[in-house]
């Protein structure tokens, strides 16, 4: 089975492999600071789903630090001057807070010639008209993606995970972003407590019918991490955790539902090994990716 991977999309567009720099905007989240809740989503660690991002520091230092980590994995035959990057603001809610400060940050990061695009992780209830208009302008010069953590379309599950907004809020944000010509990447978690495979496929089917067609999706394996409410729930009353073969089969079913032009940004995701409680097999990234690619290629 063929699908459009993020790597292939970027290589086709920019003529070379493009690497992601995980950066930090210094934002918090309305689901943590009391605006909506103080507990955050039940699966979210203290790093705000950005455990691999750079620490908050001046932007030039963050970029240098992130590039050092990424460049160490790039073949030396690729000159430094030819390397291209996407700036990814991942931790917490990156459009929540001082709008002028954030706009200045996003504008500054795109001033680096080696950075060809910007990806901003946020919530659909934290997108002001002013911010969308600003991102629309940035998008005229360099590519801008907005990543929304939907996770599920099912309200019962959304309440359980303490998402803090209802599905129509997502629908409204999707329309406003796409009307502005911005590319949207939606996060979906596979394996949330109480959800069946059919529930998960209903979420993916819903996204497959969006108009305009969804630009990108991240399929995220549920990780139970130390220090989260989810970990407490799992220890008190264990719920089903996918085995690798089960997860591969489910991902295959998800891919069958999505439009061919939707870019698959992620098939599983990583959980920090020092925090990972379950599934332990997910800590072996090489095994996971090799198994998944083999399974999908044979569909």
Q: Which domains does the chain have, with CATH numbers?
A: 6-297 (3.20.20.70)
Measured in degrees and rounded to the nearest 5, phi and psi for residue 219 equal: -90, 115
Cα–Cα distance between 237 and 290 in angstroms, integer?
Answer: 32
Provide the mean pLDDT of the chain. Answer: 94
Q: Which residues contact 51 (CB under 8 A, 6 or more apart)?
A: 45, 271, 272, 275
Tokens of 152: 């599920």
CA dist., res. 111 & res. 113, Å (int) = 6
Please write the tens of the pLDDT for every residue from 259-271: 999 999 999 988 8
- Which range (35-39, 50-54, 204-208) has the least confidence? 50-54
Quick: pLDDT tens for 171-180. 999 999 999 9
The predicted structure's pLDDT at residue 54: 54
CB 15 within 8 A of CB 83: no
Residue 91 pLDDT: 86
Q: Tell how far CA 18 is from the center of its chain.
A: 17
For residue 64, the Cα-to-chain-centroid distance in whole angstroms is 22
Q: What is the pLDDT of residue 81?
A: 87
pLDDT score, position 52:
47
Is the pLDDT reported for residue 170 higher than 60?
A: yes
Window from 73-82, 104-113, 188-197 with minimum mean pLDDT = 73-82
Mean pLDDT of 157-162: 97
**What are the pLDDT digits (tens) for 23-48?**
999 999 998 888 988 888 999 877 54
Q: CA of 239: how far to CAs of 64, 242, 276, 282, in Å?
A: 42, 10, 16, 17
3-state SS string for 94-146: CCCCCHHHHHHHHHHHCCCCCEEEEEEEECCCCCCHHHHHHHHHHCCCCEEEE
Which pLDDT does position 55 carry in this prediction? 58
> Percentage of the chain with pLDDT > 70?
97
Helical H segments across the chain, by residue range: 6-14, 59-71, 99-109, 129-138, 155-160, 167-179, 197-208, 229-236, 244-257, 285-297
* Ramachandran category for residue 181: left, alpha or beta (phi over 0 → left; psi -120 to 50 → alpha): left
- DSSP conformation class of 237: S
Q: What is the predicted pLDDT for the residue at 156?
A: 98
What is the model's pLDDT at position 12?
97
Is the Cβ–Cβ distance between 250 and 200 less than 8 Å?
Answer: yes
Quote the pLDDT of residue 38: 82
d(CA 142, CA 108): 12
Per-residue model confidence (pLDDT) at position 64: 95
Start-to-end CA distance of the chain, whole Å, equals 5
CA distance 226 to 289: 24
Each residue's pLDDT tens digit, 243-256: 999 999 999 999 99
pLDDT over threshold 90, residue 113? yes
Is the CB of residue 146 less than 8 Å from the CB of residue 120? yes
């Amino acid at each position: 089975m063929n699908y459009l991977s993020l790597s292939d999309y970027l290589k086709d567009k920019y003529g070379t492999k493009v690497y992601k720099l995980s950066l930090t905007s210094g934002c918090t989240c309305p689901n943590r600071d009391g605006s909506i809740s103080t507990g955050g989503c039940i699966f979210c660690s203290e790093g705000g789903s950005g455990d691999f991002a750079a620490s908050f520091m001046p932007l030039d230092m963050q970029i240098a630090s992130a590039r050092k980590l990424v460049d160490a994995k790039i073949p030396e035959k690729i000159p430094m001057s030819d390397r291209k990057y996407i700036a990814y603001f991942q931790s917490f809610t990156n459009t929540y807070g001082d709008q002028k400060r954030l706009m200045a940050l996003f504008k500054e990061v795109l001033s680096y010639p080696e950075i060809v695009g910007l990806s901003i992780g946020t919530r659909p209830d934290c997108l002001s008209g002013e911010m969308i208009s600003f991102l629309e302008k940035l998008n005229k010069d360099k590519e801008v993606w907005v990543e929304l953590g939907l996770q599920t379309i099912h309200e019962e599950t959304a309440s359980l995970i303490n998402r803090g907004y209802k599905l129509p809020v997502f629908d409204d944000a999707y329309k406003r972003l796409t009307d502005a010509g911005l590319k949207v990447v939606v996060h979906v978690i596979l394996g949330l407590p109480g959800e069946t495979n059919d529930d998960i496929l209903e979420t993916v089917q819903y996204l497959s019918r969006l108009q305009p067609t969804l630009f990108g999706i991240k399929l995220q394996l549920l990780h139970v991490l130390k220090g989260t409410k989810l970990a407490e729930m799992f220890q008190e009353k264990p719920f089903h955790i996918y085995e690798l073969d089960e997860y591969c089969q489910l991902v295959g079913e998800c891919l069958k539902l999505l439009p061919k032009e939707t870019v698959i940004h992620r098939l599983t995701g990583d959980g920090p090994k020092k925090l990972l409680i379950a599934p332990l097999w997910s800590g072996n990234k090489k095994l996971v990716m090799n198994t998944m690619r083999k399974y999908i290629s044979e569909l």
